[in-house]
């Protein structure tokens, strides 16, 4: 899978970021949440946390 960075806080690959897959989906990278009240994860699912402004930047990069 080829990823294209849409938004992120730094130039390294270990920072929060949003990436386009080129197939109409996105990948979100950020710190893994261990346990959060109000969020139930199924087997095989994880949740990550990123700053809200990254979603806005990613939407602009996608032309939305």
Query: Would you state the pLDDT for residue 14?
Result: 64
Q: Coil, strand or helix: which one is 18?
A: strand
Global pTM reads 0.77
Query: Would you state the pLDDT for residue 31?
Result: 87
| Domain residue spans of the chain | 4-61
CA 47 vs. chain centroid, Å, equals: 10
Per-10-residue mean pLDDT of the chain, 64 residues long, equals 85 80 91 82 90 90 88
Of 20, 21, 8, the closest CA to residue 53 belongs to: 8
Query: Would you state the pLDDT for residue 13?
Result: 63
């Amino acid at each position: 899978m080829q990823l294209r960075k849409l938004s992120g806080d730094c130039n390294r690959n270990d920072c929060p970021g949003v990436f386009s897959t080129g197939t109409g989906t996105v990948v979100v990278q950020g710190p893994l949440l261990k346990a959060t009240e109000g969020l139930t994860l199924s087997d095989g699912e994880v949740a990550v946390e990123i700053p809200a402004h990254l979603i806005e930047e990613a939407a602009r990069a996608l032309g939305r």
